[in-house]
Amino acid sequence: MTRILHKDYPSLDYELWNNVRAMRSNVNKQMGIHLASKDRGGSRASELWKEGGRFQIDNNGEEEKSLPLVVDFLSLHSVFEDIIERIRIDSETLFAEIQALVSKDPKWAIFFEGATKRDWLTINWPAFGRVIGAAVSNQAQSTVKHWTFKGTDALDSLRFWNEFCNYDDSVANGDGLSLSHWNDIVEFYTDRNYDPETEVARSLDHLPSAPFRRCVNAKHVDVIMPNPLALTFRKQLHAIFGLVVGDEYPEEIQKSHGKVVMEKLLKQQIVRGKSNHAGFLLFLHSLCAHHLMRGNVSQQKIGLHLVSMLGIRLDQRGVGGLNVPDLAHALDSNFQLGVVLRILRDSKLVEWSFVDHASVLSEAKLLKSKL
């Protein structure tokens, strides 16, 4: 499979998207289901994601061979573009809205002491990508035959937060865990090939999305304090599952965690985020803060190489959408990309569209000729 934009000219993605975005048509839910079921093999081997385009399909999954071939495009939901634009033109007001939401509880003030406007208005794209990679893998494993990637990050996060918060009542109350008790947890998990201290270190890079930080609590005790946003997210999960905070997660709930994150929490927040940018940013921080990072290569390809790449290119270069054949080529995955696109589309995280193949190639050729 070859690329639509040559790998030596990746910056043309900005112009290509802007030149074709008005021509696009959306892939609806039924189309997404059928395309996912038709996808075979890894992303480079699939017949769907070729430079030569694919056949259009109807809502019954039938190929419409009399119609022009098309090329698929993927973009984050427009709420992300709206927020990035809001940060560019109205950052002070947006920051004030966030401060009003996080300044209500003294414990929040302790944890977030030192967080800057830039911290609050920055989406941690790598962390967000890992969350989505784990959730998508978890959801696909429970719904797609022969899908082997389980989304272990999500399950590990659930189990760790259960043990961490149930270790001492002061943790769930937001007061933090004494250093001696924290060291016990670190020793236990280190013996099992996971070092929780790496999660504390995340607070040095981006405090709003860090799970924990070391600080002095309101009782003047040196503790490891959980991110209040992570605790809020945990309460949301318990409410959806009908559990009391402190209850263990049953195995069947662990298996459905990805679907809950993608279809209930994320989908709802994206819809609300159109009119509540501050609330949506806090939700994204909470989602990242609750997630503890381990993962495998396939999860990282879904999260970091797909979702995070879309976010970073939009945030840093204003690239609103990327063509799927080039994405598929870059991913070089051994999973069915169509399954991933369907889950991302149904959660509203991305907008999946297609454009006439001849128009795309014509625009790409024109852009190359101007170099």
Distance CA(27)–CA(59), nearest Å, equals: 10
pLDDT score of 314: 96
Q: Is the dihedral of CA 130, 133, 137, 143 positive or negative?
A: positive
pLDDT per position in the chain (371 positions), as tens?
478 998 777 789 999 999 999 999 999 999 999 999 999 878 888 999 999 999 999 999 999 999 999 999 999 999 999 999 999 999 999 999 999 999 878 889 999 999 999 999 999 999 999 888 888 888 887 676 666 666 566 667 777 888 888 887 778 788 899 999 999 999 988 888 888 898 898 888 999 999 999 999 888 999 999 999 999 998 888 888 776 655 665 565 667 778 888 877 888 899 888 899 999 999 999 999 998 876 555 566 777 778 999 999 999 999 999 999 999 988 887 788 999 999 999 999 999 999 999 999 999 999 988 87
Kind plus residue range of the DSSP H or E element containing 364: helix 357-369
CA angle 233, 197, 255 (to 5 degrees): 40
User: From the centroid of its chain, how far is CA 334?
Assistant: 20
CA distance 358 to 10: 20
Strand, coil or helix: what is 289? helix
Write out the two tokens for 114.
């030192």
CA separation (Å) from 101 to 95, 239, 282, 291, 355?
A: 10, 21, 9, 22, 41
User: Looking up tokens 């947006």, which residue turns up?
Assistant: 94
User: What tokens appear for 275 in the block?
Assistant: 């009119």
Distance CA 130, CA 134 (A): 6
Report how far apart, in Å, the C-alpha atoms of 91 and of each of 50, 79, 318 are. 41, 16, 17
C-beta of residue 18 within 8 angstroms of C-beta of residue 320: yes
**278: CB partners within 8 A, 6+ apart:** 94, 97, 98, 100, 101
DSSP secondary structure letter of residue 227? P
Cα(355)–Cα(359) distance, integer angstroms? 7
Q: What angle do CA 178, 295, 316 make, to 5 degrees?
A: 95
What per-residue confidence (pLDDT) applies to 252? Answer: 59
Q: Rounded to an integer, what distance in angstroms lies between the CA atom of residue 15 and that of residue 20?
A: 9
**CA-derived radius of gyration, the chain:** 22
Closest listed residue to residue 132, CA positions, set 329, 265, 268: 265
**CB within 8 Å of 328: residues ≥ 6 apart:** 1, 43, 44, 46, 49, 337
Chain-centre distance for alpha carbon 293: 13
Q: Are 232 and 286 in contact (CB under 8 A)?
A: yes
